[in-house]
Amino acid sequence: MTRYHYPEPKSSEITPEHVWTKRRQLLASGALMAAGGALPLASAMAQRSKSSDWAPLVAKPNPQYVVMDALTSQKDVTTYNNFYEFGLDKADPAKYAGAMKIEPWSVEIEGEVAKPGTYGLEELLSLSPMQDRVYRMRCVEGWSMVIPWIGYPLSALLNKVEPTGNAKYVEFVTDMQPDVMRGLSSSVIDWPYREGLRMDEAMHPLTLLTFGVYGTVLPNQNGAPVRLVVPWKYGFKSAKSLVKIRVTEKQPLTSWVAAAASEYGFYANVNPEVRHPRWTQATERRIGEGGFFTPKRPTLMFNGYADQVASLYAGMDLRKNY
Protein backbone atom coordinates (compact mmCIF):
# COMPACT_ATOMS: atom_id res chain seq x y z
CA MET A 1 0.00 0.00 0.00
CA THR A 2 2.85 2.37 0.71
CA ARG A 3 5.02 1.59 -2.26
CA TYR A 4 3.38 4.29 -4.30
CA HIS A 5 4.29 7.03 -1.87
CA TYR A 6 6.65 9.39 -3.52
CA PRO A 7 7.51 13.04 -3.02
CA GLU A 8 4.57 15.42 -2.85
CA PRO A 9 4.40 17.24 -6.17
CA LYS A 10 4.11 20.94 -6.94
CA SER A 11 2.32 20.93 -10.24
CA SER A 12 -0.05 18.64 -12.03
CA GLU A 13 2.13 18.32 -15.08
CA ILE A 14 3.58 15.20 -16.65
CA THR A 15 6.35 13.78 -14.48
CA PRO A 16 9.84 15.09 -15.24
CA GLU A 17 12.32 12.34 -15.99
CA HIS A 18 14.22 12.54 -12.69
CA VAL A 19 11.03 12.24 -10.64
CA TRP A 20 9.99 9.34 -12.77
CA THR A 21 13.33 7.62 -12.23
CA LYS A 22 12.94 8.10 -8.51
CA ARG A 23 9.50 6.56 -8.63
CA ARG A 24 10.78 3.62 -10.61
CA GLN A 25 13.44 3.07 -7.94
CA LEU A 26 10.79 3.09 -5.23
CA LEU A 27 8.67 0.68 -7.21
CA ALA A 28 11.63 -1.56 -7.92
CA SER A 29 12.41 -1.83 -4.22
CA GLY A 30 8.94 -3.21 -3.59
CA ALA A 31 8.18 -6.91 -3.49
CA LEU A 32 5.93 -6.82 -6.53
CA MET A 33 8.76 -5.99 -8.88
CA ALA A 34 10.72 -9.03 -7.70
CA ALA A 35 9.75 -11.10 -10.71
CA GLY A 36 11.27 -8.54 -13.04
CA GLY A 37 7.94 -7.00 -13.78
CA ALA A 38 6.47 -10.16 -15.25
CA LEU A 39 2.70 -10.13 -15.39
CA PRO A 40 1.07 -12.94 -13.43
CA LEU A 41 -2.10 -12.31 -15.36
CA ALA A 42 -4.26 -15.37 -15.59
CA SER A 43 -2.92 -16.77 -12.36
CA ALA A 44 -3.57 -13.47 -10.63
CA MET A 45 -7.17 -13.59 -11.73
CA ALA A 46 -7.52 -17.19 -10.66
CA GLN A 47 -6.04 -16.72 -7.21
CA ARG A 48 -8.12 -13.88 -6.06
CA SER A 49 -11.64 -15.15 -5.75
CA LYS A 50 -11.82 -16.24 -2.14
CA SER A 51 -9.21 -13.95 -0.71
CA SER A 52 -10.22 -10.83 1.15
CA ASP A 53 -7.14 -9.31 -0.40
CA TRP A 54 -6.44 -9.05 -4.12
CA ALA A 55 -3.92 -10.86 -6.25
CA PRO A 56 -1.05 -8.79 -7.58
CA LEU A 57 -1.20 -7.47 -11.10
CA VAL A 58 2.05 -5.84 -12.01
CA ALA A 59 2.55 -3.61 -14.98
CA LYS A 60 5.15 -1.30 -16.37
CA PRO A 61 4.57 2.26 -15.31
CA ASN A 62 4.01 4.50 -18.31
CA PRO A 63 5.83 7.77 -17.60
CA GLN A 64 3.73 9.58 -20.18
CA TYR A 65 0.63 9.06 -18.13
CA VAL A 66 1.24 10.02 -14.57
CA VAL A 67 0.13 13.05 -12.60
CA MET A 68 2.10 14.72 -9.85
CA ASP A 69 -0.73 14.89 -7.31
CA ALA A 70 -0.37 12.60 -4.31
CA LEU A 71 -2.20 9.32 -4.76
CA THR A 72 -5.50 8.72 -3.01
CA SER A 73 -4.98 5.88 -0.53
CA GLN A 74 -5.73 2.33 -1.61
CA LYS A 75 -8.19 2.18 1.27
CA ASP A 76 -10.21 5.14 -0.02
CA VAL A 77 -10.00 3.89 -3.61
CA THR A 78 -11.45 0.52 -2.57
CA THR A 79 -14.01 1.58 0.04
CA TYR A 80 -15.47 4.87 -1.23
CA ASN A 81 -17.17 3.83 -4.45
CA ASN A 82 -20.05 4.39 -6.79
CA PHE A 83 -21.42 1.13 -8.16
CA TYR A 84 -25.18 1.58 -8.02
CA GLU A 85 -25.82 -2.07 -8.84
CA PHE A 86 -24.79 -2.70 -5.23
CA GLY A 87 -26.55 0.23 -3.60
CA LEU A 88 -26.41 4.00 -3.45
CA ASP A 89 -24.22 4.40 -0.38
CA LYS A 90 -20.49 4.91 -0.95
CA ALA A 91 -19.77 1.98 1.37
CA ASP A 92 -22.21 -0.43 -0.32
CA PRO A 93 -19.95 -1.63 -3.16
CA ALA A 94 -17.15 -2.67 -0.79
CA LYS A 95 -19.74 -4.36 1.42
CA TYR A 96 -21.68 -6.26 -1.24
CA ALA A 97 -19.73 -6.52 -4.51
CA GLY A 98 -17.63 -9.41 -3.19
CA ALA A 99 -20.55 -11.69 -4.07
CA MET A 100 -20.40 -10.78 -7.76
CA LYS A 101 -19.38 -13.76 -9.88
CA ILE A 102 -16.45 -12.85 -12.10
CA GLU A 103 -15.24 -16.26 -13.24
CA PRO A 104 -15.68 -17.17 -15.99
CA TRP A 105 -15.99 -13.79 -17.71
CA SER A 106 -16.25 -12.74 -21.29
CA VAL A 107 -17.03 -9.59 -23.21
CA GLU A 108 -19.21 -9.67 -26.28
CA ILE A 109 -18.18 -7.33 -29.05
CA GLU A 110 -20.81 -6.60 -31.65
CA GLY A 111 -22.18 -4.06 -34.07
CA GLU A 112 -20.21 -2.19 -36.68
CA VAL A 113 -17.09 -4.34 -36.60
CA ALA A 114 -15.64 -6.79 -39.10
CA LYS A 115 -14.74 -9.26 -36.35
CA PRO A 116 -17.54 -9.47 -33.81
CA GLY A 117 -17.38 -12.18 -31.20
CA THR A 118 -17.07 -13.18 -27.60
CA TYR A 119 -13.72 -12.44 -26.04
CA GLY A 120 -12.79 -14.38 -22.94
CA LEU A 121 -11.04 -12.56 -20.15
CA GLU A 122 -7.85 -14.53 -20.73
CA GLU A 123 -7.72 -13.31 -24.28
CA LEU A 124 -8.40 -9.73 -23.26
CA LEU A 125 -5.71 -9.87 -20.60
CA SER A 126 -3.05 -10.88 -23.08
CA LEU A 127 -4.14 -8.70 -25.96
CA SER A 128 -1.76 -5.83 -25.25
CA PRO A 129 0.92 -5.06 -22.64
CA MET A 130 -0.47 -3.78 -19.35
CA GLN A 131 0.55 -0.32 -18.26
CA ASP A 132 0.43 1.34 -14.89
CA ARG A 133 -1.05 4.82 -15.25
CA VAL A 134 -1.86 7.37 -12.60
CA TYR A 135 -5.03 9.27 -13.52
CA ARG A 136 -6.93 12.07 -11.90
CA MET A 137 -10.58 11.01 -11.53
CA ARG A 138 -13.45 13.47 -11.01
CA CYS A 139 -16.94 12.39 -9.97
CA VAL A 140 -19.87 14.50 -11.14
CA GLU A 141 -20.86 14.73 -7.47
CA GLY A 142 -17.90 17.02 -6.75
CA TRP A 143 -15.19 14.77 -5.33
CA SER A 144 -12.00 13.53 -6.89
CA MET A 145 -9.25 10.95 -6.47
CA VAL A 146 -5.86 10.19 -7.97
CA ILE A 147 -5.72 6.52 -8.90
CA PRO A 148 -3.00 4.20 -10.24
CA TRP A 149 -4.91 2.10 -12.77
CA ILE A 150 -3.56 -0.88 -14.71
CA GLY A 151 -4.71 -1.57 -18.23
CA TYR A 152 -4.09 -0.80 -21.87
CA PRO A 153 -5.66 1.57 -24.37
CA LEU A 154 -9.11 0.50 -25.51
CA SER A 155 -7.89 1.24 -29.04
CA ALA A 156 -5.87 -2.00 -28.93
CA LEU A 157 -9.10 -3.98 -28.65
CA LEU A 158 -11.08 -1.85 -31.09
CA ASN A 159 -8.37 -2.14 -33.73
CA LYS A 160 -8.41 -5.89 -33.33
CA VAL A 161 -12.14 -6.15 -34.06
CA GLU A 162 -11.84 -3.80 -37.05
CA PRO A 163 -14.55 -1.13 -36.89
CA THR A 164 -16.43 -0.69 -40.18
CA GLY A 165 -16.88 2.55 -42.09
CA ASN A 166 -20.16 3.11 -40.21
CA ALA A 167 -18.56 2.95 -36.78
CA LYS A 168 -19.17 6.29 -35.08
CA TYR A 169 -19.82 5.45 -31.43
CA VAL A 170 -19.05 2.76 -28.89
CA GLU A 171 -21.51 1.58 -26.27
CA PHE A 172 -20.43 -0.16 -23.05
CA VAL A 173 -22.73 -2.40 -21.04
CA THR A 174 -22.28 -3.61 -17.46
CA ASP A 175 -23.20 -7.09 -16.27
CA MET A 176 -26.44 -7.77 -14.37
CA GLN A 177 -26.43 -10.32 -11.55
CA PRO A 178 -29.82 -9.87 -9.87
CA ASP A 179 -29.12 -12.44 -7.16
CA VAL A 180 -26.25 -10.39 -5.75
CA MET A 181 -26.84 -6.89 -7.11
CA ARG A 182 -29.35 -5.50 -4.66
CA GLY A 183 -29.22 -2.14 -6.40
CA LEU A 184 -30.97 -3.51 -9.49
CA SER A 185 -34.25 -3.29 -7.60
CA SER A 186 -33.89 0.48 -7.52
CA SER A 187 -35.37 2.42 -10.41
CA VAL A 188 -32.80 5.25 -10.41
CA ILE A 189 -31.39 3.64 -13.52
CA ASP A 190 -32.91 1.63 -16.33
CA TRP A 191 -30.57 -1.35 -16.04
CA PRO A 192 -28.20 -2.58 -17.32
CA TYR A 193 -25.82 0.33 -16.78
CA ARG A 194 -24.94 1.64 -20.23
CA GLU A 195 -22.37 4.20 -21.23
CA GLY A 196 -20.90 5.40 -24.48
CA LEU A 197 -18.19 7.33 -26.25
CA ARG A 198 -17.75 8.84 -29.67
CA MET A 199 -15.34 6.75 -31.77
CA ASP A 200 -12.47 9.26 -31.58
CA GLU A 201 -12.86 9.41 -27.78
CA ALA A 202 -12.87 5.63 -27.56
CA MET A 203 -9.73 5.46 -29.69
CA HIS A 204 -7.93 8.17 -27.72
CA PRO A 205 -4.75 6.88 -26.03
CA LEU A 206 -5.98 8.07 -22.61
CA THR A 207 -9.05 5.81 -22.75
CA LEU A 208 -8.02 2.80 -20.75
CA LEU A 209 -9.46 -0.70 -20.73
CA THR A 210 -8.73 -1.41 -17.10
CA PHE A 211 -8.01 -4.66 -15.27
CA GLY A 212 -6.24 -3.54 -12.13
CA VAL A 213 -5.60 -0.81 -9.65
CA TYR A 214 -2.91 -0.17 -7.05
CA GLY A 215 -0.83 -3.12 -8.16
CA THR A 216 -3.62 -5.69 -7.84
CA VAL A 217 -6.41 -7.03 -10.01
CA LEU A 218 -9.53 -4.86 -9.77
CA PRO A 219 -11.44 -5.39 -6.55
CA ASN A 220 -15.05 -6.21 -7.41
CA GLN A 221 -16.21 -2.84 -6.06
CA ASN A 222 -13.96 -1.09 -8.59
CA GLY A 223 -15.50 -2.93 -11.53
CA ALA A 224 -13.83 -6.35 -11.75
CA PRO A 225 -12.73 -7.97 -13.87
CA VAL A 226 -12.66 -5.33 -16.61
CA ARG A 227 -13.91 -1.75 -16.81
CA LEU A 228 -13.43 1.45 -18.70
CA VAL A 229 -11.51 4.48 -17.40
CA VAL A 230 -11.89 7.82 -19.19
CA PRO A 231 -10.06 10.39 -17.06
CA TRP A 232 -11.16 13.64 -18.74
CA LYS A 233 -14.84 12.86 -18.23
CA TYR A 234 -16.99 12.65 -15.12
CA GLY A 235 -16.61 9.30 -13.40
CA PHE A 236 -19.97 7.94 -14.51
CA LYS A 237 -18.62 7.53 -18.05
CA SER A 238 -16.14 4.94 -16.75
CA ALA A 239 -18.48 1.93 -16.74
CA LYS A 240 -17.60 -1.07 -14.59
CA SER A 241 -17.71 -4.85 -15.00
CA LEU A 242 -18.22 -4.80 -18.77
CA VAL A 243 -19.94 -7.66 -20.57
CA LYS A 244 -20.70 -5.98 -23.87
CA ILE A 245 -19.06 -3.49 -26.19
CA ARG A 246 -21.22 -2.46 -29.10
CA VAL A 247 -19.91 -0.36 -31.95
CA THR A 248 -22.69 1.73 -33.46
CA GLU A 249 -23.51 4.28 -36.10
CA LYS A 250 -25.90 6.24 -33.90
CA GLN A 251 -25.14 7.88 -30.56
CA PRO A 252 -26.23 5.36 -27.92
CA LEU A 253 -28.74 6.33 -25.24
CA THR A 254 -26.69 6.09 -22.05
CA SER A 255 -28.16 5.26 -18.65
CA TRP A 256 -27.59 8.68 -17.11
CA VAL A 257 -28.93 10.56 -20.10
CA ALA A 258 -31.99 8.32 -20.01
CA ALA A 259 -32.35 8.97 -16.26
CA ALA A 260 -31.99 12.76 -16.34
CA ALA A 261 -30.97 14.32 -19.66
CA SER A 262 -31.08 17.84 -18.26
CA GLU A 263 -28.47 16.95 -15.64
CA TYR A 264 -26.17 14.44 -17.33
CA GLY A 265 -25.03 14.75 -20.91
CA PHE A 266 -23.63 12.23 -23.33
CA TYR A 267 -20.25 13.98 -23.44
CA ALA A 268 -19.89 14.63 -19.69
CA ASN A 269 -16.47 16.20 -20.11
CA VAL A 270 -15.18 17.64 -16.85
CA ASN A 271 -15.84 21.35 -17.23
CA PRO A 272 -15.59 23.82 -14.34
CA GLU A 273 -17.50 26.41 -16.37
CA VAL A 274 -20.66 24.39 -16.85
CA ARG A 275 -22.71 23.89 -13.71
CA HIS A 276 -24.69 20.83 -12.91
CA PRO A 277 -28.23 22.30 -12.64
CA ARG A 278 -28.13 21.70 -8.87
CA TRP A 279 -24.50 22.51 -7.99
CA THR A 280 -21.29 24.11 -9.17
CA GLN A 281 -18.62 22.07 -10.94
CA ALA A 282 -15.94 24.74 -10.42
CA THR A 283 -14.33 23.08 -7.41
CA GLU A 284 -13.81 19.62 -6.00
CA ARG A 285 -13.01 17.85 -2.76
CA ARG A 286 -10.03 15.52 -3.03
CA ILE A 287 -10.91 12.40 -1.06
CA GLY A 288 -8.58 11.81 1.87
CA GLU A 289 -7.25 15.33 1.83
CA GLY A 290 -7.56 17.21 5.10
CA GLY A 291 -10.81 17.76 6.94
CA PHE A 292 -14.02 19.66 6.70
CA PHE A 293 -12.30 23.05 6.60
CA THR A 294 -9.75 22.15 3.94
CA PRO A 295 -10.37 24.41 0.97
CA LYS A 296 -11.67 22.70 -2.13
CA ARG A 297 -9.46 22.43 -5.19
CA PRO A 298 -10.32 24.22 -8.40
CA THR A 299 -11.58 21.75 -10.99
CA LEU A 300 -9.51 21.82 -14.18
CA MET A 301 -10.88 21.94 -17.71
CA PHE A 302 -11.10 18.36 -19.05
CA ASN A 303 -9.90 17.36 -15.57
CA GLY A 304 -6.41 18.62 -16.42
CA TYR A 305 -6.16 16.70 -19.70
CA ALA A 306 -6.97 19.63 -22.00
CA ASP A 307 -3.61 19.47 -23.79
CA GLN A 308 -4.42 15.95 -24.83
CA VAL A 309 -8.14 16.06 -25.56
CA ALA A 310 -9.36 19.63 -26.21
CA SER A 311 -8.81 19.21 -29.96
CA LEU A 312 -11.46 16.46 -30.04
CA TYR A 313 -14.07 19.13 -29.32
CA ALA A 314 -12.83 21.94 -31.59
CA GLY A 315 -15.81 23.96 -32.79
CA MET A 316 -18.28 22.30 -30.44
CA ASP A 317 -20.38 24.30 -28.00
CA LEU A 318 -19.47 22.63 -24.71
CA ARG A 319 -22.38 24.30 -22.91
CA LYS A 320 -24.82 22.62 -25.24
CA ASN A 321 -22.85 19.39 -25.44
CA TYR A 322 -22.39 18.96 -21.68
Peptide bond before residue 7 is cis, with ω within 30 degrees of 0? no
Answer with the entry of Mo ion, ligand MTE, none that 78 interacts with (C-beta below 5 to 8 A by kind).
Answer: none
Indicate whether 130 belongs to the interface with ligand MTE (CB under 6 A).
no
Phi-psi region of 51 (alpha: psi -120 to 50; beta: other; left: phi over 0): beta
Indicate whether 254 belongs to the interface with ligand MTE (CB under 6 A).
no
Indicate whether 230 belongs to the interface with ligand MTE (CB under 6 A).
no
Minimum distance from residue 239 beta carbon to Mo ion (Å):
11
Q: Where does this chain touch ligand MTE (CB under 6 A) — which range of 83-91, 198-206, 279-287, 306-314?
A: 83-91
Measured between alpha carbons, how far is 205 from 202 in angstroms, rounded to an integer?
8
Q: Looking at beta carbons only, is 130 or 146 nearer to ligand MTE? A: 146
Interface residue with Mo ion, options 139, 202, 217, 239 (CB under 5 A): 139
Nearest-10 Cα torsion for 148, 153, 154, 158: -170
Minimum distance from residue 10 beta carbon to ligand MTE (Å):
26
Indicate whether 97 belongs to the interface with Mo ion (CB under 5 A).
no
Indicate whether 94 belongs to the interface with ligand MTE (CB under 6 A).
no
CB contact at 8 A, 208 and 305: no
Other CB atoms within 10 A of residue 62 CB: 16
Minimum distance from residue 82 beta carbon to Mo ion (Å):
5
Q: How many Cα atoms occupy the beta-carbon half-sphere of 267 within 13 Å? A: 17
Phi-psi region of 290 (alpha: psi -120 to 50; beta: other; left: phi over 0): left
Indicate whether 44 belongs to the interface with Mo ion (CB under 5 A).
no
Q: Where does this chain touch ligand MTE (CB under 6 A) — which range of 14-22, 41-49, 78-86, 271-279?
A: 78-86
Vertex 237, ends 235 and 127: CA angle to 5°? 105
Q: Where does this chain touch ligand MTE (CB under 6 A) — which range of 19-27, 162-170, 237-245, 305-313?
A: 237-245
Site for ligand MTE in 191-220 (CB under 6 A): 193
Interface residue with ligand MTE, options 130, 239, 257, 309 (CB under 6 A): 239
Indicate whether 84 belongs to the interface with ligand MTE (CB under 6 A).
yes
Indicate whether 235 belongs to the interface with ligand MTE (CB under 6 A).
yes
Indicate whether 73 belongs to the interface with ligand MTE (CB under 6 A).
no
Measured between alpha carbons, how far is 117 from 274 in angstroms, rounded to an integer?
39
Strands (E), 32-168: 60-61, 106-111, 117-120, 131-138, 143-153
Helix and strand numbers (H, E) in the chain are 9, 13
Peptide bond before residue 298 is cis, with ω within 30 degrees of 0? no
Number of residues that make up the chain: 322
Residues in contact with Mo ion, shown as a per-residue x/- string from 288 to 317 under the rule CB under 5 A = ------------------------------
Site for ligand MTE in 139-158 (CB under 6 A): 139
CA 270 to chain centre: 14
Indicate whether 113 belongs to the interface with Mo ion (CB under 5 A).
no
Quickly list H helices, the chain. 17-29, 41-47, 74-79, 92-96, 121-125, 154-161, 199-202, 255-259, 306-309
Minimum distance from residue 144 beta carbon to ligand MTE (Å):
9
Answer with the entry of Mo ion, ligand MTE, none that 238 interacts with (C-beta below 5 to 8 A by kind).
Answer: ligand MTE
| Footprint on this chain of ligand MTE (rule: CB under 6 A) | 81-85, 139, 174, 193, 222-223, 235-236, 238-241
| Footprint on this chain of Mo ion (rule: CB under 5 A) | 82, 139, 235-236
